[in-house]
Chain A
C-alpha cells in the first residue's frame, strides 16, 4: 500500500488529507486518484509538487518514478507567502 497525502489548496479541493492506494508508478497513482475523485483532474495532480519519501520526483524518474509498498507520496500545490 502507498500512503498518499495532500497539502495546500489541492487538499481543500479534494477534501481528504490522506488515503491508501496501490500503484507501481506515480503515473498510475495519478490515474487512480483521478478515478476516485473525478473533480480532480490528472493535469491538476501533475501540477503539484510531488515527493516520494522526502524526494522530489523531479530528482527521481518524474512521473515514471517507481513506488513500493510502504512508500509515502506527498502532493503539494503551489506555495508562496511568508
Chain B
C-alpha cells in the first residue's frame, strides 16, 4: 500500500506463523495522518484486531513491531522502533521502545511495520529481506542465550538487524524481554509473548531507503537539531559523560531513590553504585545508537572483559532497592540478565518484594536485603523456572496474590515500578498510577524531571501536576510514534534554566510552574488552536514536516500524542480496566518514608480525579464520547 508521504516505506507486513501465511496489512495515508507511526500505529492495529477474549498467551495476540517516519532517515536519536502487544504481566496493552538498528533494517527490508500472529508448532525464526519472508527451523537455536543467538544468526544472515529472545522468553517469564544487538525492548514481558509463539528470532535485511519529501530542508533541520543536542548541558554533557546512571546521586539527594523495596528514598551506600563511580572505575567509552549524537550507552570493563554497562534503572533496582552496594556485581548481573533475556527492573522489583516477604516471615526463601552473593543463581532459576525462580518469574503482583503483602507489593497494574520513589515526587506517583502500561517511569510522563532532577518545582504539591503529567505524556507519546528517542526532548527545556538552577529566572520558573496549571490545561484542551506553530526549541515537528510532508506543528504533535494515549486507554477499558486499576501500593499512598521530613505520601485520589477531567475521561476513567469525537477516535474500530 503506497504512501504519498515521505519517510514511510508504505508497507506493513502481517505474518501468521501458525499457517505460514504472509500478506500486507492495510494501512492508509489517512491512518498515517491520525496515528503517525510507532506505538500509536501499533495501538490502532491492536485495537482493530484484538477481541475482549484475547489473552496475552493466545494465538490471536499479536506482536506489532513498528517504526516511525523518522526511523532510518538519519534524524538525530531516531533509530527507534516499537514493540506492542498484550502484556503477560498486566493483561493490558504494552509498548516497548528500543534503540539499536532493527528499525532501520526493517525499513531497509521495505516495511514500516511487522505484525506477527499465531503460534508455531516448532521453534522457528523469520528471515525478511526485500519483500521476501522465509520461515526457518529454530530447534538448534532454542535454549541459546541472546548473545550467542545473535552471533549464530549473523553467520547465517550477515549485516542484518535482529530481534531475539533468550531462555526467559522461551520459558514464559512474565517479564522476559526482546533483544536487538545490545539494546532491549525491556519491559512488560514482550519476550514472553515471542516465546509463547515459539518465535526465537526475526532477522531483517535489505537495501531500500525511505525518501524524504524535502531532502535539503531535512538536512538543514537535522544539522540544527544535532547542534542543539550537542550544546545542551544534558544531551551534550551529562548523558554522554555519565549516562543515565548519572542520575542516581541526584535522586538520593532528593530522597526519591527507591531503597529497600521502596521503604526509603535514600541509600547510605549510594555513592558506591553511582554513575560517577561507574565512570571513574569501570567506564571504557560511551556508545550510541545509529544516528544518535548523545551516545548515552556505556562500555565498561569488568573481569578483564569489555561489556555493556548498566542503565540507571538496573542499578537502582538491583542496587539500593535490594540494599546491594556492589557495583561490580551489578555490572556482571546486567550482562547475565541480558543473556538470559529478562527485564532488570521487574527482576529487581520481584526480588526486593520476595526479600521483604522473607523478612516478615510470609514466604521464607532465604532471600535477604543486602545478601546478594547467590543472586546470579536465582536469576538463572527465574529464567529456567526452577525452584523458587518459577514463582519469582510470575512477578510481584502474582506473588502478592499467592502469599499476601499487597500493601508493599511495588507495582502498578501488575508491572513493577521503576527506581523513582514517588513520595518525594508526587506527580511522578500520579503518572505511575495512570500509565497505560503500568509502573513505567516514562509512560508515566516522567514528571520527576520537573520535581527535582532538572527543575525544582515543589515535589509535594498537587498543584498543576495532573496538567503537567498530561502534557508530558502526550509529547512523549508522539515523539516515540515519530521514531525518536525521548531523550531528544531534553533540548526542549531551555539550557538557561537547566544549567543555572540557582538563578533568579530559574527560581521564578520553579515557583510559577505549579501556578500555571490553568495555562497548561488550555494547551491540553485546545493544542491546535493555542500552539498552531513550530516551537524553536522542538525541532521534531520541523523534522517530521521535512521528511513526511504531513501538516505538523507543536499543537498537532500534542493532539496526536493525546490521541495515542487515549486510544491505548480505550483498548485497556475495552478489556475491563477501571479506575481501580489506576493504583499505587498502600506504602506510597498511606505511609510516609520512615523519619522523612516533611512526612509525605502520594495524594493520588485528588490528582487522579483532576487528571481524568483534563483527559476528558469519566469518573471511572473511561474516555467519554465527546473526547473520542474530539480526538477523531469515535467509531475508531473498523
Contact = CB atoms under 8 A, between A and B. Distances in A.
Interface of A: 7-9, 11-12, 17, 46-51, 54, 56-58, 62-63, 74, 76-82
Interface in B509-543: none
Given A8-B246, A8-B276, A81-B487, A74 B253 contact: yes
A27 to B, nearest CB: 12
18 contacts: A7-B249, A7-B250, A7-B253, A7-B274, A9-B241, A12-B280, A47-B500, A49-B501, A49-B502, A51-B253, A54-B255, A58-B502, A78-B234, A80-B239, A80-B490, A81-B239, A82-B419, A82-B420
Contact of A48 (B234, B237, B498, B501): B501
Nearest to A48: B501
B456 A58 contact: yes
B244, B276, B419, B420 — most chain A CB neighbours (10 Å): B276
B247 A57 contact: no
Nearest to B266: A54
B282 to A, nearest CB: 14
- A contacts with B: majority SS: mixed
Interface in B433-453: 441-442, 446, 448-449, 453
Interface string B454-486: 101000000000000000000000000000000
A82 B502 contact: no
B449 to A, nearest CB: 6
Interface string B263-280: 000000001001010011
Contact of B250 (A8, A46, A57): A8
Interface in B201-241: 233-234, 237-239, 241
Given A49-B501, A81-B234, A12 B453 contact: no
A25 B71 CA distance: 52
A82 B250 CA distance: 12
Contacts of A62: 502
Nearest to A49: B501
Contacts of A82: 244, 247, 312-313, 418-420, 441-442, 446, 448, 453
A11 B271 CA distance: 12
A80 B501 contact: no
B354 interface: no
Contacts of B238: 8-9, 77-81
A12 B498 contact: no
Contacts of B498: 78, 80
B250 A79 contact: yes
Contact of B246 (A48, A49, A57, A79): A79
A14 to B, nearest CB: 11
Contacts of B247: 79-82
Interface residues of B, number: 43
Contacts of A51: 253
A73 to B, nearest CB: 11
Interface of B: 233-234, 237-239, 241-244, 246-247, 249-250, 253, 255, 271, 274, 276, 279-280, 296, 312-313, 418-420, 441-442, 446, 448-449, 453-454, 456, 487, 490, 493, 498-502, 507
A62 B313 CA distance: 32
Contacts of B255: 54
Contacts of A48: 501
Given A76-B249, A78-B501, A9 B234 contact: no
B441 A76 contact: no
Contacts of B454: 78-80
A29 B456 CA distance: 23
A56 B250 contact: no
Given A49-B456, A49-B502, 15 more contacts: A9-B237, A12-B279, A47-B499, A47-B501, A49-B501, A51-B253, A57-B502, A79-B247, A80-B238, A81-B239, A81-B246, A81-B490, A82-B419, A82-B420, A82-B441
Nearest to A63: B502
A43 to B, nearest CB: 9
Nearest to A51: B253
B510 to A, nearest CB: 8
A80 B507 contact: no
Given A47-B500, A58-B502, A79-B453, A17 B250 contact: no
A9 to B, nearest CB: 5
B195 to A, nearest CB: 28
Contacts of A76: 249-250, 253
B274 to A, nearest CB: 7
Contact of A50 (B250, B420, B446, B502): B502
Nearest to A76: B250
A81 B501 contact: no
A78 B452 CA distance: 11
A61 to B, nearest CB: 12
Nearest to A15: B280
A11 B281 CA distance: 13
Given A7-B249, A12-B241, A47-B500, A81 B279 contact: no
A3 B318 CA distance: 29
A30 to B, nearest CB: 11
Nearest to B294: A81
A13 to B, nearest CB: 9
B453 A80 contact: yes
Contacts of B280: 12
B527 to A, nearest CB: 24
B238, B239, B420, B449 — most chain A CB neighbours (10 Å): B238
A62 B456 CA distance: 14
A80 B449 contact: yes
Nearest to A80: B234
B249, B454, B490 — most chain A CB neighbours (10 Å): B249
Nearest to B279: A12
Contacts of A78: 233-234, 237-238, 454, 498-499, 501
Contacts of B453: 79-80, 82
A8 B271 CA distance: 11
- Across the A-B interface, the 10 shortest Cβ-Cβ residue pairs: A80-B234, A7-B249, A79-B250, A80-B454, A78-B233, A81-B239, A81-B244, A49-B501, A11-B276, A79-B453
